[in-house]
Amino acid sequence: MIKQLSKAVRQFKTQLPYLPMAFGLVYRAAGGLTIAWLGLLLIQGLLPVAMVYLTKVLVDGIAQVIKDSGGLQGLVTLAPAAAAMVCILVAIEVFQSASRWLRTAQSERVQDSVHELIHEKAMSLDMSFYDNPDYYDQLHRARVDALSRPTALMENAGALLQSFITLVAMAGVLLTFGLWIPVLLALSTIPALVVVMRHTMRFHLWRMLNTTAIRKTHYYDMMLTSREAAAEMRLFHLGTHFRGLFKELRARLRSEKVVLARNEAVATAVAALIGLATMAGALAWMGLQASRGLLSLGDMALFVQAFFQGQRMMRSLLGSAGEIYRNIMFLENLFEFLELKPKITEASDPPPHPGLQKEIHLQNVTFCYPGSNRPALVNFNLSIPARKITALVGENGAGKTTLIRLLCRFYDPEGGHIMIDGRDIRTLSTESLRRQTTVLFQEPVRYHDTVFNNIAFGDIGSRPDAARIETAARDAGADAPISRLPDTYSAVLGKWFGGAELSGGEWQRLALARAFLRQAQLIILDEPTSSMDSWAEADWLARFRQLVAGRTALIITHRFTTAMQADIIHVMDRGRVIESGSHEELLAAGGRYALSWTQQMRGSVSRAKSE
């Protein structure tokens, strides 16, 4: 028992620095409410002692009235004490209600503050964090396990303070009966302290070891209930499979958690019995003293209430201490998450984007995704001329999409340089670099918001007006499907909030409008026509050159009908460029591009005949 208590104390010391950090977080979020709440706790801690004292006064007074046969006149003399007790009872109820209101207001403010801290940290971290499963565990523990911990910690600290105030006052009352009684009261609660500490350590360890398993249950639940997976769940009869996975994992987690709770319940019951036995011994001694005429009925009532309240306060104090210990252990997860540092760093006071006048040049770039043993690019070289259209074509896995992530500086290359007009992008302001870049991603986000906002998100900081939004929609060929919606640009999209649904191609054109809204110097389009039908593609390609006139464009595509619009086409294979030239030059060369072009054209003809 002593060994376990010592281990808990040592672990508590290592996590003690998180305590002032948590209190500081709460105070910054709800300082005034916290001060008012602490004031109420101080008052509430003293009220039970006043109740115990008044109980003695009333019991002794009633006994004296009975002894003297004072009747109603004698009872009148006790009216002030009775009125005081009524006032205290009313005050206890009022202060408890006020404390609940203050705790709720404080909790809401603190949770909003913690949400803000987590969101701010998540947005500041690099894309590389999303390639690491440990990051998802840290995020889960910070967002789910630790979100409410600062408020809970304050509540536990407040309960501990209130219990401590009451306990000290009760101990002072018990001291009048003998020094050994408060000591006995303290010793009777040691088993309960050991139970609290031991269970807290075990539960926290269980949560740490099962974070991934808990996240898996959330994933299986999402697959069974989300709209995105609904079609395949039904078509491929995957519901039974995922339900089985969910039930199997939940059964294990539930069983382990129930065993922990059972062990705690047994240990708690044993500790409580020890406490009751101690109280019974003390009461027997008091009864013996009363039988000898050494104590009055009021003394007995005072002792019983003081000892009972003292034990209750000790259990409450230990429970609060255990919860503080538990919350600090979980708060460690929150503060560890908030202490994460982005791997992409900037020099102090970096210069802004210099303006793309000549070219973007990738020189001997080598890059490997975190956790992967296979490099995506090795000694890769490429030039993207300014104010020209460059296309990259190649099979999946050739490294085309990786280039987008490097050009946006979502990642830094492990070797080589990416330069804009001779300046390494790592020396520039990342914010200004991204400000001068606009991207249509291969899998753009479908925002469940209005059509207007779906486009405006491309340059939300400039607060675009309706004219700019409509121009971007026309440029992307999105104006036609928008015009068919009942509320056009005010229409809400997506089913989450009861909006309209679009086809895959219509969503893509909306994302294209979002990309065009930003008047950036570099336009990157990843498979811009992949979800468009042949008519929509032909219409958009006919206007494409005019849309990007005077700007630098990089198109990544599998469709050679799209690639042929470029001034220069680079054919990629396994992280390197194997052919470069215009559409006509590459056809004349008779290489990989020419072969793929022929195959695509034959496929187009075959599809046309079948239709």
Closest Cα partner for 265 from 189, 192, 209? 192
Task: Report phi then psi at 298, rounded to 5.
Answer: -65, -40
Range 131-144 average pLDDT: 79
Closest Cα partner for 202 from 149, 251, 261, 127? 261
First to last CA, the chain: 81
Say what the pLDDT of residue 568 is: 92
Asked whether the predicted pLDDT for residue 223 surpasses 90, the reply is: no
Contact 343, 128 (CB under 8 A): yes
Say what the pLDDT of residue 307 is: 66
Asked whether the predicted pLDDT for residue 341 surpasses 50, the reply is: yes
The conformation of residue 610, written as its DSSP 8-state character, comes to: H
Structure tokens at 432: 């200004």
Range 211-229 average pLDDT: 83
Range 73-92 average pLDDT: 79
Say what the pLDDT of residue 609 is: 47
For residue 314, give the 3-state DSSP assignment.
helix
b/e per residue 175-190 (b: at least 16 CB within 10 A): eebeeebbebbeebbb
Q: Name residue 361's beta-bridge partners.
A: 383, 419
Reported confidence tier of residue 467, pLDDT bands at 50, 70, 90 = very high
| Distance in angstroms (rounded) separating the CA atoms of residues 302 and 609 | 100
Contact 504, 511 (CB under 8 A): no
Q: Tokens 């026509």: give the residue.
A: 529
Summarised one tens digit per residue, pLDDT across range 489-515 is 899 888 877 788 888 888 888 988 888
Task: Report phi then psi at 572, rounded to 5.
Answer: -105, 145
Q: How far is CA 538 from the centre of its chain?
A: 44
236: amino acid identity, one letter: F
Q: Which residue has the higher pLDDT, 13 or 545?
A: 545
* CB neighbourhood size of 124 (10 A): 11
Domain with CATH 3.40.50.300 in the chain: 358-436+522-611, 444-519
Reported confidence tier of residue 310, pLDDT bands at 50, 70, 90 = low
Domain with CATH 1.20.1560.10 in the chain: 18-338
Fold of 18-338: ABC transporter transmembrane region fold (1.20.1560)
Of all residues in the chain, the percent with pLDDT exceeding 70 is: 78
Say what the pLDDT of residue 8 is: 52
Say what the pLDDT of residue 478 is: 87
Closest Cα partner for 377 from 399, 397, 356? 399
Decide which of 2.30.30.90, 3.40.50.300, 3.40.50.880, 3.30.450.90 is the CATH code for 358-436+522-611: 3.40.50.300
Structure tokens at 336: 């560890």
Summarised one tens digit per residue, pLDDT across range 236-292 is 678 888 889 899 998 999 889 888 888 877 877 777 777 667 767 766 766 776 666
Asked whether the predicted pLDDT for residue 211 surpasses 60, the reply is: yes
Contact 37, 106 (CB under 8 A): yes
Say what the pLDDT of residue 608 is: 46
Range 171-193 average pLDDT: 67
Residue ranges in 339-478 assigned as alpha helix (H): 400-407, 430-435, 451-456, 466-476
Summarised one tens digit per residue, pLDDT across range 5-60 is 455 556 556 666 777 777 787 788 888 888 888 788 778 777 777 777 777 777 77
Reported confidence tier of residue 385, pLDDT bands at 50, 70, 90 = very high
Span 444-519 CATH architecture: 3-Layer(aba) Sandwich (3.40)
Summarised one tens digit per residue, pLDDT across range 158-168 is 776 766 776 67
258 burial via Cβ count (<10 Å: 0-12, 13-18, 19+): exposed
| Distance in angstroms (rounded) separating the CA atoms of residues 221 and 237 | 16
Range 475-495 average pLDDT: 88
Task: Report phi then psi at 328, rounded to 5.
Answer: -65, -40
Mean pLDDT across the chain: 79
Say what the pLDDT of residue 140 is: 77
Say what the pLDDT of residue 302 is: 66
